[in-house]
Amino acid sequence: MSGTGEALDPDFPYAVLRDLGTGVFTVDVLGRITFVNPWTERLLGRSSAQLVGRNAHDLLHRRPDGSPVPRGQCTMMSPLDGGLCVEQGSEEHFLRADGTTVPIIWATTPLLLAGRRAGLVVVFNDFSLHRDAEERAAAHTAALEALTTRLNLVADVSSVLMSTVAAPGRITRLLRLLVPALGDWAAIDLRSERERTAGVLERVAVRSHAHPRAARRLEGPLPPLPPGSRPPVARATGGDEPARLSADEVLGNPDAPLATTHRPLFDRLGGHSAVVVPLRARRRHYGMLTVARAGAAPSLTDDEILLLTDIGRRLALVLDNARLYHEQRNVAETMQRQLL
């Protein structure tokens, strides 16, 4: 009865089923479809005439690849075997008329007429929109987590580079942040400022997550570069753009760019790829920062390379400020000695 005491229109229940916005069909005790609403026809691309009288499980229930689901594994129709509970789920698929499958969210409940079991009521809807929304939400969450991690790394790097620790100590701490946050191993090569070895590259710090002892043994002055290796090394240390390296190319081709400087790193520390970032500030070239990936880890992304490039600029400014400080201190000491 309605709130005004008037009887409901006899077509009211069907109007609700018609405009419910979800698929509803019923099956008898043998699993044959006895009724479908218009949303069922729309979702499955099948008319009522194509559905009524057919076995619902045999006609519709499929795996994601379209293969049949054994009747014994059909949770949806299990209440027909005697259960009285409501079943529901979101890991099933129905076969559409065009041969494609649609993921569904569903619920079934026993259908009782005059107190006797008459079959089941199946309510379902296309779950792909919900699933897409969940995947988008998960991707958004993952992106936010990655951004947060990156921002925290930038903050930690800034804290290290702005500390009052001497430059060698800051370099060591920097590599501790980069490995394993951005790579499996990292190395910093600097041009020597000493008179006898001016311009010669020295591997001042190497850090490896998997091979710490081998990494320490790789530190020290690098051997003189053959003439063919000098131009690519000059570009790597004095250019503006980072360079990508492949372990296969470095290990397999002695004439490959940077093979002379980076073959020992790949040979002893492993890895499949690396990025070399120049350390350049105020038109002075200080060296290069290398970060590598190993194992199943993917190569560094463009965003990660941009981050490394920014870190390289910051490190170069630290080195340049240290140089200026030492130059000014030497000038001051010289003037003091002359005055004395």
We report the CATH number of the domain holding residue 297 as 3.30.450.40
State whether 329 and 225 are in the same domain. yes
Q: How many domains does the chain have?
A: 2
State whether 325 and 258 are in the same domain. yes
pLDDT value of residue 153: 84
State whether 221 and 97 are in the same domain. no
State whether 103 and 173 are in the same domain. no
Q: pLDDT band for 328, please (50, 70, 90 cuts).
A: low
- Comparing CA positions, the residue from 159, 141, 137, 161 lying closest to residue 149 is 141
Q: Which of 71, 99, 126 is the last residue of a domain?
A: 126
Residue 200 region, left (φ>0) first, then alpha (ψ -120 to 50), else beta? beta
Over residues 4-37, the pLDDT tens digits come to 555 555 666 677 777 777 899 999 999 999 999 9
Q: Which of 126, 148, 179 is the last residue of a domain?
A: 126
Q: Is residue 268 part of a domain?
A: yes
pLDDT value of residue 203: 94
18 vs 187 pLDDT, higher one: 187
State whether 54 and 177 are in the same domain. no
CATH at 93: 3.30.450.20
C-alpha Rg value of the chain to the nearest Å: 35
Rounding to the nearest 10 degrees, give the CA dihedral for residues 247, 253, 257, 260: 90
- Distance between CA atoms of residues 78 and 239, nearest Å: 69
State whether 94 and 205 are in the same domain. no
pLDDT value of residue 226: 77
pLDDT value of residue 54: 96
Q: pLDDT band for 215, please (50, 70, 90 cuts).
A: very high
Identify whether the C-beta of residue 290 lies closer than 8 Å to the C-beta of residue 274.
yes
Strands (E), 128-172: none
pLDDT at 198 over 60: no
Q: Is residue 144 part of a domain?
A: no
- Comparing CA positions, the residue from 263, 262, 264, 286 lying closest to residue 276 is 262
Identify whether the C-beta of residue 185 lies closer than 8 Å to the C-beta of residue 206.
yes
For the segment 122-140, the average pLDDT, to the nearest whole number, is 76
- Distance between CA atoms of residues 334 and 340, nearest Å: 10
For residue 212 the two structure tokens come to 């710490």
pLDDT value of residue 2: 47
- Distance between CA atoms of residues 245 and 272, nearest Å: 9
pLDDT at 253 over 70: yes
Identify whether the C-beta of residue 161 lies closer than 8 Å to the C-beta of residue 170.
yes
For the segment 207-236, the average pLDDT, to the nearest whole number, is 85
The mean pLDDT value of the chain amounts to 84
pLDDT at 312 over 50: yes
Give percent of the chain with pLDDT exceeding 90: 45
195 vs 281 pLDDT, higher one: 281
pLDDT value of residue 232: 76
State whether 63 and 168 are in the same domain. no
State whether 169 and 313 are in the same domain. yes
Straight-line distance from the first to the last Cα atom of the chain, in angstroms, rounded to the nearest whole number: 112
pLDDT at 129 over 80: no
pLDDT value of residue 6: 57
pLDDT at 295 over 80: yes
pLDDT at 319 over 60: yes
State whether 110 and 218 are in the same domain. no
For the segment 280-302, the average pLDDT, to the nearest whole number, is 91
Q: Which of 105, 126, 147 is the last residue of a domain?
A: 126
| Domain of 56, in residue numbers | 12-126
Q: Is residue 6 part of a domain?
A: no
The DSSP bridge partners found for residue 117 are 112
State whether 218 and 332 are in the same domain. yes
Q: Is residue 234 part of a domain?
A: yes
Pairing label, strands 185-191, 201-208: antiparallel
State whether 308 and 235 are in the same domain. yes
State whether 169 and 273 are in the same domain. yes
Q: Is residue 134 part of a domain?
A: no
For the segment 259-284, the average pLDDT, to the nearest whole number, is 92
Q: Is residue 175 part of a domain?
A: yes
Looking at 18-22, 128-132, 219-223, 228-232, which range is the least confident one? 128-132
Q: Is residue 310 part of a domain?
A: yes
Q: Is residue 93 part of a domain?
A: yes
Q: pLDDT band for 333, please (50, 70, 90 cuts).
A: low
- Distance between CA atoms of residues 97 and 286, nearest Å: 68
Rounding to the nearest 10 degrees, give the CA dihedral for residues 192, 197, 200, 205: -40
pLDDT value of residue 1: 45
- For residue 257, give every residue at least 6 positions away whose Cβ sits within 8 Å of its Cβ, in sequence order, or none: 229, 232, 235, 236, 243
Dihedral over Cα of 180, 181, 183, 185: its sign: negative
Identify whether the C-beta of residue 40 lies closer than 8 Å to the C-beta of residue 80.
no
pLDDT at 64 over 60: yes
